[in-house]
């Protein structure tokens, strides 16, 4: 790890000022950033720890769903009675992130701002009609993830919270990378009345919606409705663990499993 | 049993208290006044010429004490890391043994090859400066795999090893084997890869060198499985330090699995540098360095054929193996794919003729050497996969073809066609114990139930025999070993009756401090708390050979028994004197010395006190003291053997294989501590399962870059990947040639498990016409196999 200046502001305003420093980085739960620093793959001048800012914390029920503070750790989402009652699929997704240590440290804001192509939360943000609130504006979940490790966030913009709409039915099904246990493919299926959203993470550079699946499920919300449907392998990720056509196949398998789990 | 903590008692490991409460003392825990930290500059290229090294900027960085290179070592006449085993090729020529310098001199030959070392006040400062060392490389074409190494016109890893061949060796009777094949009714064939593995001990390698300017003595504290061998090799061959001026300490070591047997360059670097900079120098590998530079395991590509008569009796086995040794010869590398592999190719079967050829090659990859099982898992996997194929060829049940060909118990001792003589073993009994454990008759029903749920179920058998406690020295010497293979022990009674045992074996997870103490407690009838086991320090213990090849108890335990025999003989003389009886009238039982037919007796504690306070002592016949030393050189290997049965279920939609059950029946001879034995089996099984389903060390074939250089890509088995194991052992066939009747249990699980799992996977896929799949059986590989076998399903 290279030397850096550690800062721990207690207000969002102070954090917003601190992050203006050149080469400063925001620190959430540190589950990606700290290993990167330890391997000397990043060299920030300043780390702005967001852990002492009350405005970034807490889980609230809203009119149509939930609002979760950016500095809410995965374990808090997983174990929250409120989340389990309003959107149980989201609690279940959180309980499946990484391992216990990761869940006790990692935060929702950190996860979505990092936009790892194999992270779990992006699928929920998109499938649950999420809205990302920052210190500057609101960004629709559909517009938030713009590419591999890329988001709509501007330099120095800080995620405050994420709002999720409450679905009638929803479930997340994930196929883990056997080594890292990140999602090789994760599919979040959510049904809102006649509308169905199917958001896929892990398979491509960024989360995407499987629109053909959505149409089929909107007509018939059963796993069988997806028989014969698939996503195009072209453009999907490929590595030593999973080729693009295997990922494409898994998207269909996981989508069916999510529909079954959603009931 | 007389002693509650004696032989056969499931004593909890005495060392676990300190390990589990963070009080272990590992090499990196040692701190010295004025200590400096070393960080190595390593090659990012698999193969390159070093045109120059510019470390002026690095040397000027804060805290930097020194930057040293191969040129400095050359100037100090530092030698090459020696190889401890010499193999001769078919034509009688010795293997190619190119130099392996601790810091590369003109060329680097694998990614991670050390080029320079930076020594600084802190580790971070050393790392900062190491990044500033500018090495001018001329990149050369690389050889990233064994098959590429022998392909025509491949680049040469070493100029003096034509065609990249280290040796081209063979074993067995070629003519007899060919003749048997000519008359065979059936021939089963297989091509398989036994993939390369990274050892992944929990504790990374570390080394600290010290030099005492007043005495001229060096001390190396290191993560070693055998400190005496490191002292001999480094002192005599690399640094030219006489052994009485070199102390090597291997304190608590957090796992080795073979990878810490060897003498590594970093050990020589820190020891040499400590004198150079006049301060202690410590180096600790980070995990990335471990992946790159720990000696890897396995990496065989083989073709094998089994000749049978019409009834499925094995007539002959023919094996051809290409073994990857990596860029340089690690300490025992040449022996692994030869005398620890080909000699085991008989397995449990009475195949009358066997011929094996092994071509070992250099590549631009990390050195390959012994890894838990070391040659024997490769042999077991090849035989047992081939036997399953053979069962298919002749249409026999997989258990029956094995049973038909087992070496019968009555044939023991049995001389195999590949040099070994098995002393004991009842292979049919292992199978008989295993079959009810797995409800073999009920398997077809379970398979049908799985099928009804859309799943594929398979059952796999593997029988194995291994040669452990590698021995005797004279035989090993004739086969090319450049070391002895005995073990030593010293049993030192103290005046108040407590005992310190010094053993040349080394514990890095095996539990010697418990098992060895049980043997002493049992023999002398004393509480286990009164026995201390000391190991791992060349200044404390006699010359020992360390721990590898499941040898500690079979060889080190036997040395301990010999030393205890000497103690008892002397104690008997002292007792006779004290009890005023003839020595022949003294009866000894559980450490009590009694005059036959009387109630006159003494405990060993009374005798120990008299030995050190010799007021009533036969000083004209005996020296005072009760402290005896013994060396034991085994008469033969020991032959642990067993039968492993694995049942798997495959999800054809994803290709995921789940192990439903796993039963291991083993014959380890007599068992000293069943709890430790069971733990060893569990750990071994998980490592074998890891190879079968998860682990795979991948180098890019052309660039020689390590693709799986972290846990993000190198898949280790985890607790939730394995089932609760069913482990059984029997003690009906103790080893006949060592005093404890023990055989060794450390590697057995790893040897049998991979074959059992893969046989189960292939069995599960048998409906698709699959007869073989290379390890690891990853989800995508399994899914693709199924899809390619059933084009109709893939189109769905």
pLDDT digits (tens, 9 = 90+) for A80-94: 999 999 999 999 999
Does residue A62 share a domain with residue A23? no
Neighbours of B62 (CB within 10 A): 10
DSSP designation for A155: T
What crossing angle do the helices spanning B512-524 and B558-578 adopt, rounded to 10°? 30
Q: Which of A111, A143, A118 is nearest to A236 (CA)?
A: A118
Give me the pLDDT at residue B3, please. Answer: 87
Does residue A160 share a domain with residue A82? yes
Q: Tell me the residues of B at the A interface, defined by beta carbons under 8 Å apart.
A: 124, 127-128, 131, 288, 653-654, 694, 698, 707-708, 711-716, 778-780, 783-784, 796
CB B509 within 8 Å of CB B194: no
Substitution target in A116, A202, A246 with the highest count of B β-carbons within 10 Å is A246
- The C-alpha atoms of residue B53 and residue B330 are separated, in whole angstroms, by 26
Residues 72-131 of A with CB under 8 A from B: none
Q: ipTM of this predicted complex?
A: 0.96
Residue numbers of the domain that contains A212: 169-262
Task: Place A22 in a pLDDT band, splitting at 50, 70 and 90.
Answer: confident
B31-140+202-255+260-293: CATH, from 3.90.1170.50, 3.40.250.10, 3.30.420.40, 3.40.50.10580:
3.90.1170.50
How do residues B177-194 score in pLDDT, each as one tens digit?
A: 999 999 999 999 999 999
Closest residue in B to A250 (Cα–Cα): B654
Mean pLDDT of B18-46: 97
Give me the pLDDT at residue B327, please. Answer: 98
B780, A242: Cβ pair inside 8 Å? Answer: yes
Question: Helix, strand, or coil here: B413?
Answer: coil
Say whether residue A146 is in contact with chain B using an 8 A CB cutoff.
no
Which of B131, B712, B784 lies closest to A179 in CB terms? Answer: B712
Task: Say yes or no to pLDDT of B437 above 90.
Answer: yes
How do residues B193-204 score in pLDDT, each as one tens digit?
A: 999 999 999 999
Taking the whole predicted model, whether its pTM rises above 0.90 is answered as: yes
Give me the pLDDT at residue B483, please. Answer: 86
Return the domain boundaries, chain B: 16-21+486-632, 31-140+202-255+260-293, 297-470+636-795
Say whether residue A39 is in contact with chain B using an 8 A CB cutoff.
yes
Substitution target in A223, A249, A254 with the highest count of B β-carbons within 10 Å is A249
Q: Across the A/B interface, how many CB contacts are shorter than 8 Å?
A: 41
Chain B hits for A237, Cβ within 8 Å? none
Domain formed by B297-470+636-795, architecture: 2-Layer Sandwich (3.30)
Does residue A96 share a domain with residue A16? no
Neighbours of A101 (CB within 10 A): 10
Burial A6-23 (b: 16+ CB within 10 A, else e): ebebeebeebbebbeeee
- The C-alpha atoms of residue B287 and residue B578 are separated, in whole angstroms, by 60
Mean pLDDT of A27-45: 95
Give me the pLDDT at residue B541, please. Answer: 95
Query: What CATH number has the domain bearing residue A76?
Result: 3.30.465.10
Mean pLDDT of B289-313: 98
Give me the pLDDT at residue B1, please. Answer: 47
Closest residue in A to B695 (Cα–Cα): A179
Neighbours of A104 (CB within 10 A): 15
Task: Say yes or no to pLDDT of B791 above 60.
Answer: no
- The C-alpha atoms of residue B560 and residue B628 are separated, in whole angstroms, by 10
The two three-digit tokens of residue B549, written as one number: 């090849």
Mean pLDDT of B680-702: 97
- The C-alpha atoms of residue B94 and residue B87 are separated, in whole angstroms, by 6
Query: What CATH number has the domain bearing residue A26?
Result: 3.30.43.10
Contacts (Cβ under 8 Å, ≥6 apart) of A46 = A4, A5, A6, A7, A18, A21, A23, A24, A25
Residue B171 is inside which H or E element, if any? strand B165-172
What crossing angle do the helices spanning B376-394 and B748-764 adopt, rounded to 10°? 30
Mean pLDDT of B615-636: 94
Question: Helix, strand, or coil here: A245?
Answer: helix
Residue B600 exposure: Cα atoms within 13 Å on the Cβ side:
14
Distance from CA of A246 to the nearest CA of B (A): 7
Closest residue in A to B652 (Cα–Cα): A253
In chain A, the N- to C-terminal Cα span, in Å, equals 47
Which of B288, B698, B716 lies closest to A240 in CB terms? Answer: B698
The two three-digit tokens of residue A217, written as one number: 């499920």
- Do B31-140+202-255+260-293 and B16-21+486-632 fall under one CATH topology? no
How do residues B123-156 score in pLDDT, each as one tens digit?
A: 999 999 999 999 999 999 999 999 999 998 899 9
Closest residue in B to A246 (Cα–Cα): B780
The single residue listed with the structure tokens 């499920």 is A217
What fold does the segment set B16-21+486-632 form as a domain?
Aldehyde Oxidoreductase; domain 4 (3.30.365)
Domain end, chosen from A165, A195, A222, is at A165
Substitution target in B42, B779, B783 with the highest count of A β-carbons within 10 Å is B779
DSSP designation for A153: P
C-alpha angle B403-B406-B412 in degrees, rounded to nearest 5: 140
Chain B hits for A228, Cβ within 8 Å? 796
Q: Which of B561, B643, B344 is nearest to B470 (CA)?
A: B344
- The C-alpha atoms of residue B152 and residue B232 are separated, in whole angstroms, by 40
- The C-alpha atoms of residue B596 and residue B579 are separated, in whole angstroms, by 11
- The C-alpha atoms of residue B642 and residue B429 are separated, in whole angstroms, by 9
- The C-alpha atoms of residue B132 and residue B134 are separated, in whole angstroms, by 6
Give me the pLDDT at residue B469, please. Answer: 86
CB B425 within 8 Å of CB B733: yes
Question: Helix, strand, or coil here: B99?
Answer: coil
Say whether residue A230 is in contact with chain B using an 8 A CB cutoff.
no
Q: Average per-residue pLDDT in chain B?
A: 96
H-helix segments, B166-205: 174-182
Q: Which of B138, B129, B136 is nearest to B56 (CA)?
A: B129
Does residue A152 share a domain with residue A76? yes
Mean pLDDT of B569-577: 96
Question: Helix, strand, or coil here: A218?
Answer: helix
Give me the pLDDT at residue B484, please. Answer: 86
Query: What CATH number has the domain bearing residue A255?
Result: 3.30.390.50
Question: Helix, strand, or coil here: B172?
Answer: strand
The two three-digit tokens of residue B178, written as one number: 């060919």
Give me the pLDDT at residue B793, please. Answer: 46
CB B273 within 8 Å of CB B66: yes
State what percent of residues in chain B have pLDDT above 70.
99
Chain B hits for A240, Cβ within 8 Å? 698, 707-708, 713
Mean pLDDT of B266-270: 98
Contacts (Cβ under 8 Å, ≥6 apart) of B555 = B469, B471, B485, B486, B487, B505, B545, B632, B634, B738
Higher-pLDDT residue of B226, B484: B226
H-helix segments, chain A: 12-18, 33-38, 74-79, 81-86, 88-95, 100-105, 108-114, 121-127, 141-144, 211-219, 244-262
As for how many domains chain A has, the answer is 3
C-alpha angle B540-B544-B549 in degrees, rounded to nearest 5: 135
Task: Say yes or no to pLDDT of B794 above 80.
Answer: no
Give me the pLDDT at residue B470, please. Answer: 81
Neighbours of B730 (CB within 10 A): 16
Neighbours of B675 (CB within 10 A): 16
- The C-alpha atoms of residue B329 and residue B735 are separated, in whole angstroms, by 34
Cis amide bond preceding B776, omega within 30: yes
Task: Say yes or no to pLDDT of B365 above 50.
Answer: yes
Q: Average per-residue pLDDT in chain A?
A: 97
Neighbours of B310 (CB within 10 A): 9
- The C-alpha atoms of residue B230 and residue B228 are separated, in whole angstroms, by 5
CB B577 within 8 Å of CB B616: yes
Contacts (Cβ under 8 Å, ≥6 apart) of A145 = A112, A115, A122, A125, A126, A151, A152, A206, A207
B698, A250: Cβ pair inside 8 Å? Answer: no
Does residue A175 share a domain with residue A95? no
Chain B hits for A249, Cβ within 8 Å? 783
Task: Place A164 in a pLDDT band, splitting at 50, 70 and 90.
Answer: very high
Does residue A159 share a domain with residue A81? yes
DSSP designation for B554: I
Give me the pLDDT at residue A36, please. Answer: 95
Say whether residue A1 is in contact with chain B using an 8 A CB cutoff.
yes
Say whether residue A238 is in contact with chain B using an 8 A CB cutoff.
no
CA distances from B406 to A162, B412, B429 (A): 66, 12, 11
Task: Place B655 in a pLDDT band, splitting at 50, 70 and 90.
Answer: very high
The alpha-carbon radius of gyration of chain A (Å, integer) is 18
CB A184 within 8 Å of CB A176: yes
CA distances from B683 to A99, B677, B722 (A): 22, 10, 11
Question: Helix, strand, or coil here: B328?
Answer: coil
Give me the pLDDT at residue B796, please. Answer: 40
- The C-alpha atoms of residue A108 and residue A115 are separated, in whole angstroms, by 11
Give me the pLDDT at residue B792, please. Answer: 47
Mean pLDDT of B609-615: 96
DSSP designation for B731: -
- The C-alpha atoms of residue A99 and residue A106 are separated, in whole angstroms, by 10
How do residues B477-492 score in pLDDT, each as one tens digit?
A: 988 998 888 999 999 9
- Spell out the SS3 assignment of B655-698: CEEEEEEEEEEEECECCCCHHHHHHHHHHHHHHHHHHHHHCCCC
Total H helices, total E strands in chain B: 21, 28
């Amino acid at each position: 790890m290279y030397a850096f200046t550690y800062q721990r502001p207690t207000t969002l305003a102070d954090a917003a000022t601190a992050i203006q420093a050149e080469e400063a980085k925001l620190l959430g739960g540190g589950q990606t950033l700290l290993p990167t620093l330890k391997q000397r793959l990043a060299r920030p001048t300043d780390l702005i720890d967001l852990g002492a800012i009350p405005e970034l914390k807490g889980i609230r029920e809203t009119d149509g769903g939930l609002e979760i503070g950016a500095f809410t750790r995965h374990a808090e989402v997983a174990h929250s009675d409120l989340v389990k009652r309003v959107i149980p699929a989201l609690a279940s997704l959180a309980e499946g992130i990484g391992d216990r240590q990761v869940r006790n440290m990692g935060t929702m804001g950190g996860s979505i701002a990092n936009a790892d192509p194999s992270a779990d939360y992006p699928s929920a943000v998109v499938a649950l009609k999420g809205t990302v609130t920052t210190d500057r504006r609101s960004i629709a979940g559909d517009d938030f993830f713009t590419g591999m490790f890329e988001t709509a966030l501007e330099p120095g913009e800080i995620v405050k919270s994420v709002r999720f709409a409450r679905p009638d039915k929803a479930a997340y099904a994930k196929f883990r990378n056997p080594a890292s246990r990140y999602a090789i493919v994760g599919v979040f299926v959510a049904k809102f009345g006649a509308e169905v959203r199917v958001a896929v993470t892990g398979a491509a550079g960024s989360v995407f919606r499987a629109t053909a699946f959505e149409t089929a499920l909107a007509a018939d919300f059963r796993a069988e409705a997806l028989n014969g449907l698939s996503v195009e392998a072209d453009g999907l990720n490929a590595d030593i663990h999973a080729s693009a056509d295997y990922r494409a196949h898994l998207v269909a398998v996981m989508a069916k499993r999510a529909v079954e789990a959603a009931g | 049993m007389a002693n509650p903590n004696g032989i056969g008692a499931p004593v909890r490991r005495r060392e676990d208290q300190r390990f589990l409460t963070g009080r272990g003392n590992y090499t990196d825990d040692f701190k010295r006044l004025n200590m400096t930290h070393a960080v190595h500059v390593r090659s990012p290229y698999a193969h390159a010429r070093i045109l120059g090294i510019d470390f002026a900027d690095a040397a000027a960085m804060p805290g930097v004490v020194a930057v040293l290179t191969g040129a400095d070592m050359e100037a100090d006449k530092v030698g090459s890391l020696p190889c401890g085993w010499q193999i001769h090729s078919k034509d009688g020529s010795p293997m190619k043994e190119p130099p392996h310098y601790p810091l590369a001199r003109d060329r680097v030959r694998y990614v991670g090859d050390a080029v320079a070392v930076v020594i600084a006040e802190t580790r971070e400062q050393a790392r900062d400066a190491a990044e500033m060392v500018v090495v001018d490389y001329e990149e050369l074409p690389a050889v990233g795999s064994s098959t590429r190494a022998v392909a025509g016109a491949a680049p040469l890893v070493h100029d003096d090893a034509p065609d990249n061949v280290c040796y081209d060796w063979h074993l067995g009777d070629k003519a007899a084997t060919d003749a048997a094949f000519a008359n065979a009714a059936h021939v089963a064939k297989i091509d398989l890869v036994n993939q390369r593995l990274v050892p992944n001990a929990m504790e990374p390698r570390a080394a600290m060198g010290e030099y005492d300017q007043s005495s001229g003595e060096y001390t190396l504290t290191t993560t070693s499985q055998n400190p005496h061998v490191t002292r001999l090799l480094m002192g005599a061959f690399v640094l030219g330090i006489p052994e009485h001026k070199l102390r090597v300490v291997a304190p608590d070591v957090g796992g080795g699995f073979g990878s810490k047997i060897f003498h590594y360059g970093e050990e020589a670097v820190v020891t040499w540098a400590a004198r150079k900079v006049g301060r202690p120098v410590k180096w600790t590998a980070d995990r990335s360095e471990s992946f790159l530079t720990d000696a890897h395991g396995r990496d065989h590509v083989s073709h094998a054929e089994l000749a049978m008569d019409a009834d499925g009796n094995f007539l002959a086995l023919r094996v051809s193996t290409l073994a990857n040794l990596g860029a340089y010869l690690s300490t025992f590398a040449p022996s692994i794919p030869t005398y620890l592999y080909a000699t085991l190719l008989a397995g449990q079967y009475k195949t009358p003729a066997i011929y094996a050829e092994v071509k070992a090659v250099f590549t631009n990859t990390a050195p390959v050497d012994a890894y838990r099982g070391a040659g024997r898992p490769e042999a077991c996997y090849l035989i047992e996969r081939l036997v399953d194929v053979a069962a298919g060829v002749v249409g026999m049940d997989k258990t029956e073809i094995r049973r038909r060909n087992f070496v019968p118990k009555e044939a023991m001792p049995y001389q195999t066609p590949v040099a070994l003589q098995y002393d004991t073993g009842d292979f049919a009994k292992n199978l008989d114990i295993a079959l009810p454990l797995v409800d073999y008759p009920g398997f077809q029903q379970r398979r049908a139930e799985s099928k009804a749920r859309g799943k594929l179920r398979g059952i796999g058998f593997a029988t194995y025999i291994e040669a452990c406690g590698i021995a005797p020295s004279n035989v090993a010497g004739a086969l090319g070993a450049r070391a002895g293979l005995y073990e030593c022990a010293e049993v030192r009674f103290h005046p108040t009756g407590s005992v310190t045992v010094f053993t040349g074996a080394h514990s890095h997870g095996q539990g010697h401090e418990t098992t060895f103490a049980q043997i002493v407690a049992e023999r002398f009838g004393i509480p286990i708390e009164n026995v201390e086991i000391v190991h791992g320090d060349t200044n404390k213990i006699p010359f020992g050979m360390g721990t590898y090849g499941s040898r500690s108890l079979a060889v080190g335990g036997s040395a301990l028994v010999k030393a205890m025999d000497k103690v008892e003989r002397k104690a008997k003389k002292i007792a006779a004197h004290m009890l005023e009886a003839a020595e022949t009238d003294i009866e000894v039982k559980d450490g009590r010395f009694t005059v036959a037919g009387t109630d006159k007796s003494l405990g060993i504690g009374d005798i120990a006190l008299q030995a050190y306070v010799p007021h009533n002592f036969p000083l004209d016949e005996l020296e005072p003291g009760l402290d005896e030393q013994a060396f034991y050189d085994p008469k033969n290997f020991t032959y642990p053997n067993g039968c492993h049965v694995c049942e798997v279920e495959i999800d054809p939609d994803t290709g995921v294989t789940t192990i439903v059950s796993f039963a291991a029946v083993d014959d380890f001879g007599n068992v000293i501590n069943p709890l430790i034995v069971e733990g060893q089996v569990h750990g071994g099984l998980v490592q074998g399962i890891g190879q079968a389903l998860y682990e795979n060390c991948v180098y890019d074939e052309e660039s020689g870059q390590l693709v799986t250089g972290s846990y993000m890509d190198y898949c280790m088995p985890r607790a939730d990947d394995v089932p609760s194991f069913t482990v059984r052992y029997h003690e009906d066939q103790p080893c006949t040639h060592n005093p404890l009747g023990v055989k060794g249990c450390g590697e057995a699980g790893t040897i049998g498990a991979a074959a059992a799992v893969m046989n189960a996977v292939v069995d599960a896929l048998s409906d698709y016409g699959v007869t073989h799949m290379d390890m690891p059986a990853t989800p995508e590989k399994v899914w693709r196999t199924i899809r390619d076998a059933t084009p109709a399903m893939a189109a769905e």
